Amino acid sequence: MTFISHCLDIPEERLDSRDFKLADSQQTRLLDIKKILQRVRAWFDTQQQAVLWLDTCRIQSFGNCTPLQILKQHGENGRQLLHKFIDGKELGGYE
């Protein structure tokens, strides 16, 4: 499974189709992921590490969900919560 199909919860085969189009919610999720990765990139040595954080880091204050799970489960509210979490980390907060 590719990272994109994983993020969007769609079969990888659909990505290969010429007729494939993203739903509005999928476009929004990809933009949210991009913005979050841009914000946290400075925390890591590589972009790959930032992507790994998005997909695997369990955040205790969010019920041990990963940032990607938070986006998938809570949409716009999840995006806002993650940006507040990132704000706190940038101000020296910790979990």
CA atoms within 13 A on the CB side of 65: 15
Distance of alpha carbon 49 from alpha carbon 17, whole angstroms: 29
Q: What residues form DSSP beta bridges with 65?
A: 59
Which residue, chain included where needed, has tokens 């706190």?
88
Amino acid making up residue 40: V
pLDDT one-digit tens code per residue, 13-42? 888 888 888 889 889 999 999 999 999 999
Return the pLDDT at 1: 55
pLDDT number for residue 60: 93
pTM > 0.75: yes or no: yes
Which tens digit of pLDDT belongs to each residue from 36-89?
999 999 999 999 999 999 999 999 999 999 999 999 999 899 999 999 999 999
Contacts for 32 with CB less than 8 Å, ≥ 6 apart: 71, 79
